[in-house]
Amino acid sequence: MLNTPITRRSLLGLGAAGAAGLMFSGCATERADGKIEVEIVSYKQEAVSIFEQLMDEFNAAHDDIYLNITSPADAVTIMKTRFVREDYPDVIGIGGDADYASFVDSSILANVSDCDTISKVSPAYQDILKSVTYVPMDGIYGVPYVANAAGMLYNKDMFAEKGWTIPETWDDMIALFDEIKAEGEVLPIYLGYLDTWTILSPWNSITINMVPSDLARQVNAGEAKFSDYYREPAERMLQLLEYAEDGPFAYSYNDACTAFARGQSAMFPCGSFAVPQILSVNPEMNIGMFAMPSAENPDDRIVVSGVDLQWCVAETCEHKDAVYEVIAFLNEEANVQTYIDDQRAIPCTEGNYTLDPLYDDIQPFLDEGKVLDYLDHSYQSSMACDAQIQTMLLSGDVDAFLEKWDTDWQRYNRSVIRKVQDYESQQ
């Protein structure tokens, strides 16, 4: 029924032939001055000044390679339009997210397992990156650079002043919430659920501790159902509502950041990525982060962490050596330290780094590799999982939520499931 007269392979062949014939602009083109140009398009627009600085350093030290890093606004759209034009940058800097998965799926990215820098990347982040693609890939399609983490952000000064301690179990946390609520001065947490993606932060950190780490893959292989695992996380999400602002669905992510920054709430279940926005409202604030205590045994707690920036090389790139030299340069310890200081990031490579005080409480987890990727990286964005959770939180109907989730999953992941099953049958 699903006849595919044009097979993927033949189309790829056609595309490659077309690209070779047209060659709008080659990858790593040679410049008039004989240098090889390496072009990087990075989606980290907020890090533009760091990369400009690193770029100047690199170019001053090299007379054979010219490095050009750009960080345009809405870079992912720009990358996609350049792919359409078959005008591939040598390197794209993106997160280990759904866009990355779909770029890999579209055969745009090259296998970089021959890049020396890979050996410096900590195993945890290599695994995290592997878990992002729809089907397990044999190669490695990106060199992880830095990561972010999610859990519970808390107001360090407020905790110190009130003598509150960091909860290690769910019950401890609820007890702390009750205590804060009873005092009535501030809210225990602020949610800001108007923006649906904000809901994914607590959802990820709660759920990751309560379900098998490869649940999505099990479901795709027809071995499990979400409804067997997602009931408890859903109930805990509902429980959080009792300790947040009234009507959290009216308040945006920005409102939540502002409220937390102004001390209206003691905690904010979000990620390190929210810190710049919070600090823009209150630059003096001391923010900490602790692991969401939703594991049954405190020793099993896991921190959600994902690759925030990685270097992916275009399949068409012809100067991989020059590109690898650039990647090696960017991953030099001093340069990584510069980046993580400025962006409050977590390095993905092993080395002797000083992390931002924000990570004091989760440093042990990072050191021991007790980290797993954001669950939503395995959700199809067109399925609007965040909106489904929002619907459940509004209606309180967990049964309907679970049923719809399983049905929709099958529908939106049809092609992925087919790929996974093909893959498994080949194994």
**Which position among 18, 136, 222, 247 is part of the footprint of other proteins (CB under 8 A)?**
247
72 sits near other proteins (criterion: CB under 8 A): yes
Which CB, 179 or 382, lies closer to other proteins? 382
Which CB, 175 or 238, lies closer to other proteins? 238
Rounded to a whole number of angstroms, the minimum distance from the CB of residue 350 to other proteins is 27
**Which position among 146, 153, 173, 194 is part of the footprint of other proteins (CB under 8 A)?**
194
Residues in the chain: 427
Which CB, 42 or 122, lies closer to other proteins? 42
**Which position among 49, 363, 395, 410 is part of the footprint of other proteins (CB under 8 A)?**
395
Which CB, 169 or 391, lies closer to other proteins? 391
- Neighbouring C-alpha atoms within 13 Å toward the C-beta of 55: 18
Q: Which of the residues 4 through 33 are near other proteins (CB under 8 A)?
A: 4-8, 11-12, 15, 24
70 sits near other proteins (criterion: CB under 8 A): yes
Q: Nearest-CA neighbor of 318 among 13, 39, 129, 54?
A: 39
Q: Which of the residues 106 through 125 are near other proteins (CB under 8 A)?
A: 106-108
Rounded to a whole number of angstroms, the minimum distance from the CB of residue 377 to other proteins is 13
Q: Which of the residues 80 through 99 are near other proteins (CB under 8 A)?
A: 80-85, 87, 98
Residue window 368-387: x/- pattern of binding to other proteins, with contact defined by CB under 8 A: ------------xxx-x--x
Q: Which of the residues 280 through 319 are near other proteins (CB under 8 A)?
A: 280-283
**Which position among 18, 23, 46, 228 is part of the footprint of other proteins (CB under 8 A)?**
46
The one segment of 65-73, 139-147, 224-232, 342-350 that binds other proteins by CB under 8 A: 65-73
CB-CB neighbours of 38 under 10 Å: 27
Give the amino acid at 44: K
CA 265, chain centre distance (Å)? 26
410 sits near other proteins (criterion: CB under 8 A): no
41 sits near other proteins (criterion: CB under 8 A): yes
Name beta bridge partners: 303.
Answer: 371
Q: Nearest-CA neighbor of 377 among 109, 141, 129?
A: 129
Q: Let me know: does 310 contact 339? Beta carbons within 8 Å.
A: no
Rounded to a whole number of angstroms, the minimum distance from the CB of residue 15 to other proteins is 7
Size of residue set near other proteins by CB under 8 A: 72
**Distance from C-alpha of 177 to C-alpha of 79, rounded to nearest angstrom:** 44
45 sits near other proteins (criterion: CB under 8 A): yes
**Which position among 19, 78, 210, 224 is part of the footprint of other proteins (CB under 8 A)?**
78
Which CB, 239 or 381, lies closer to other proteins? 381
Which CB, 80 or 130, lies closer to other proteins? 80
**Distance from C-alpha of 379 to C-alpha of 217, rounded to nearest angstrom:** 11
423 sits near other proteins (criterion: CB under 8 A): no
**Distance from C-alpha of 111 to C-alpha of 214, rounded to nearest angstrom:** 23
49 sits near other proteins (criterion: CB under 8 A): no
DSSP 297-339: SGGG--EEEEEEEEEEEBTT-S-HHHHHHHHHHHTSHHHHHHH
Which CB, 263 or 369, lies closer to other proteins? 263
**Which position among 33, 138, 161, 246 is part of the footprint of other proteins (CB under 8 A)?**
246
Give the amino acid at 206: I
Name every residue whose Cβ is closer than 8 Å to that of residue 163 and which is 6 or more positions away in sequence. Answer: none
Name every residue whose Cβ is closer than 8 Å to that of residue 153 and which is 6 or more positions away in sequence. Answer: 260, 267, 268, 269, 270, 271, 274, 275, 278, 287, 288, 289
Sign of CA dihedral 384, 388, 393, 398: negative
